[in-house]
């Protein structure tokens, strides 16, 4: 073992995962009661410490897979959180990531096993340390991403109505959009394709179902909503 940097104090490095889902017209985040000290019993994001032989990205991927059982979730780094007093136990620097998941793809038994819940982002309880700030910054980044990348389709089922898509955009941005202008813009996007299938769960007349064409999106360098 080397003795490099022995004159400097040591710090722990952790990852915290902000997992967004969309359900019943609301943007939700997956949180649970903290099961360790300090902060036992407080609402918290799901996370863990970075192992000695893994990168921070690898640690975040491992943490997400442990929690959801799903591989290769859409994941992006939010940033580093390193206030000196953010953790009353030790000096801990956390790298926050946000991930997107279709709520229906998440095994509810696994959710119960980990003791986490889907909570409406507008109704977050007081949370451990700076976890609410992590969520706030992740949502801000997602608001910008959704304008230039089709990340919304990672939160929706494979087939969706235009009403579902509009409600998702409204939930992410926290404000209503004009229905006529929104649908006009969506119909100009060749990578959002109308199918012949009709969803009649909302009315007798029903609404056409759409799907995302990834190949068409890759050919559209000018996408912006």
**Where does the pLDDT of residue 217 fall: very low under 50, low under 70, confident under 90, or very high at 90 and above?**
low
Name residue, tokens 């949180």: 31
pTM, whole model, 2 decimals? 0.90
Per-residue model confidence as pLDDT tens digits over 76-86: 999 999 999 99
Question: What pLDDT sits at residue 224?
Answer: 59
C-alpha of 153 from chain center: 12
Q: How far apart are CA 131 and CA 141, in angstroms?
A: 15
């Amino acid at each position: 073992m080397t003795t490099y940097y022995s004159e400097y104090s040591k710090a722990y490095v952790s990852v915290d995962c902000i997992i967004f889902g969309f359900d019943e017209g609301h943007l939700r985040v997956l949180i649970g009661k903290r099961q360790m000290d300090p902060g036992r019993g407080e609402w918290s994001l799901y996370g863990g410490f970075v192992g000695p032989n893994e990168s921070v990205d690898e640690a975040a991927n491992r943490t997400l897979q442990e929690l959801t059982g799903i591989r290769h979730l859409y994941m992006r780094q939010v940033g580093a959180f390193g206030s000196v007093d953010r953790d009353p136990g030790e000096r801990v620097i956390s790298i926050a990531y946000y991930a997107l998941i279709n709520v229906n793809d998440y095994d509810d038994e696994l959710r119960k096993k980990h003791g986490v819940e889907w909570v409406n982002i507008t109704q977050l309880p007081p949370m451990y340390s700076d976890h609410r700030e992590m969520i706030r910054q992740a949502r801000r980044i997602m608001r910008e991403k959704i304008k230039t990348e089709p990340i919304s389709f990672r939160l929706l089922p494979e087939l969706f109505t235009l009403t579902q898509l509009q409600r998702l955009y409204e939930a992410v941005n926290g404000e209503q959009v004009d229905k006529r202008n929104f649908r006009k813009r969506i119909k100009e996007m060749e990578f959002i394709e109308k199918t012949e299938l009709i969803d009649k769960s909302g009315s007798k007349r029903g609404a056409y179902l759409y799907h995302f064409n990834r190949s068409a999106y890759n050919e559209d360098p000018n996408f912006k909503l």
